[in-house]
Amino acid sequence: MEQVIYDYTRQDASGASCTAHAWAKVPPRLTPEERDRAKERAKELLARHDAVLVAHYYVDGDIQDLALETGGCVADSLEMARFGRDHPAKTLVVAGVRFMGETAKILSPDKRVLMPDLDATCSLDLGCPPDEFAAFCDAHPDRKVVVYANTSAAVKARADWMVTSSCALAIVSHLKAQGDKILWAPDRHLGRYIQEQTGADMLMWNGACIVHDEFKGLELELLRKEHPGALVLVHPESPRSVVEQADVVGSTSQLLNAVISSQAQEFIVATDNGILHRMRQLAPGKTLLEAPTAGRSATCKSCAHCPWMAMNALQGVVACLETGVGEITVPEPTRSQALGCIERMLDFVARNPSAIAKPAQGFVPNVGAA
């Protein structure tokens, strides 16, 4: 397996930040025959172990297809959390990155939660070390602590609220209306976008997603000139210069729904290109262009695909079900402390459904098994 190195922003309790290094692995590509065999084996093992596959939109298309063919789901972080919690299966196989597996375990402590590769992480999680974050919170006790889903269980244990990009605007608006001041972590771009939209008083942690941080405003302007009829869809983890050019800003589910429901035929998509697999299935015939990450200075590290999501491979799904390796554990009392902020978000979403995007699977009839 090949290893690649990435840079990410890491902050400490004083507010100072630096660049640190992280690594990811590139799983070997399967031949078509190996892929078919792995899919069949995974189906057999899912049924045998009373397991369901919960996949994120950014993982490999074969895993997304497997999830839908076996009664699992392909979704954003919010829907993954709800689906895993509500599904009766004894085992959840979470194809995504580590914080997603942890969230599933926090919500379903009696279920076994497996992941294809426990080393699949996230630059936002890495950039927000729990001890530094706790000290930062201690220094600002007058603020409500709101953390993005892309954080460790230990960081969530210190938070009042968890949010995802589907519900962050609605929840921060609610807190502002109550007169709360907010300590926001870890994504600086999403935090800035939410702050500008709501006018809330937000003290920001300095983290970023290494994928969305690479989208470039100037290169996007040039691409828009070449495709004047294209709608620009942007995930709010992107820099301001990119968000400012968006026709739609939203979570992965919201961007997917925009492609399905819009009359436009052409779209420029500024989020991880793993989402294009599901967009092509749900909106066949529409033209999807990847937003540019670095123009002429592009490198293999700015390819709009998360290196940690890419660590999820069919062979990992098979291996975790065959051997039980890749099981997620979240020790007490961290689990029960982290549960509070997640349940607060889920309760809010249940009480305010109109504030949240509809999941894509429910949007178009007769698509997918979920």
In the bound state with ligand SF4, the residue whose beta carbon lies nearer, of 202 and 211, is 211
Q: How far is the CB of 81 from ligand SF4 (least distance, A)?
A: 15
Which one-letter amino acid corresponds to residue 291?
A
Residue 72 contacts residue 55 (beta carbons within 8 Å): yes
Please count the CA atoms within 13 angstroms of the CA of 263 that sit on its side-chain side.
Answer: 0
Residue 268 contacts residue 224 (beta carbons within 8 Å): yes
CA dist 54 and 320 (Å) reads: 14
Q: Hey, what are 38's tokens?
A: 């792995």
- Nearest of 328, 337, 340 to residue 102 by alpha carbon: 328
Q: How far is the CB of 65 from ligand SF4 (least distance, A)?
A: 20
In the bound state with ligand SF4, the residue whose beta carbon lies nearer, of 123 and 152, is 123
In the bound state with ligand SF4, the residue whose beta carbon lies nearer, of 51 and 97, is 97
In the bound state with ligand SF4, the residue whose beta carbon lies nearer, of 70 and 271, is 271
Q: How far is the CB of 31 from ligand SF4 (least distance, A)?
A: 27
Q: Identify the residue whose tokens are 């979920």.
A: 370
Q: How far is the CB of 302 from ligand SF4 (least distance, A)?
A: 13
Q: Identify the residue whose tokens are 């100037």.
A: 218
Q: Hey, what are 40's tokens?
A: 């069949």
Q: How far is the CB of 212 from ligand SF4 (least distance, A)?
A: 6
Q: Hey, what are 135's tokens?
A: 């000290």
Q: Are strands 91-95 and 51-56 parallel, antiparallel or unpaired?
A: parallel
Q: How far is the CB of 99 from ligand SF4 (least distance, A)?
A: 8
In the bound state with ligand SF4, the residue whose beta carbon lies nearer, of 94 and 122, is 122
Q: Identify the residue whose tokens are 């702050």.
A: 195
In the bound state with ligand SF4, the residue whose beta carbon lies nearer, of 97 and 220, is 97
> Taking CA 18 as the corner, what is the angle to CA 216 and CA 119, rounded to the nearest 5 degrees?
80
The b-or-e profile of 150-161 (16+ CB within 10 A means b, else e) is bbbbbbbbbbbb
In the bound state with ligand SF4, the residue whose beta carbon lies nearer, of 70 and 77, is 77
Q: How far is the CB of 160 from ligand SF4 (least distance, A)?
A: 22
CA dist 271 and 181 (Å) reads: 30
Residue-by-residue DSSP string for 265-281: SEEEEES-TTHHHHHHH
Instruction: Name 276's Cβ contacts closer than 8 Å, sequence gap at least 6.
Output: 269, 288, 290
In the bound state with ligand SF4, the residue whose beta carbon lies nearer, of 89 and 211, is 211
In the bound state with ligand SF4, the residue whose beta carbon lies nearer, of 123 and 198, is 123
Q: How far is the CB of 91 from ligand SF4 (least distance, A)?
A: 23
Burial (CB count <10 Å: 0-12, 13-18, 19+), residue 178: exposed
Instruction: Name 286's Cβ contacts closer than 8 Å, sequence gap at least 6.
Output: 259, 264, 265, 266, 267, 279
Q: How far is the CB of 257 from ligand SF4 (least distance, A)?
A: 19
In the bound state with ligand SF4, the residue whose beta carbon lies nearer, of 70 and 293, is 293
Site residues for ligand SF4 per CB under 6 A: 58, 97, 122-124, 150, 209-211, 272, 306, 308-309
CA dist 113 and 317 (Å) reads: 12
Q: How far is the CB of 312 from ligand SF4 (least distance, A)?
A: 11
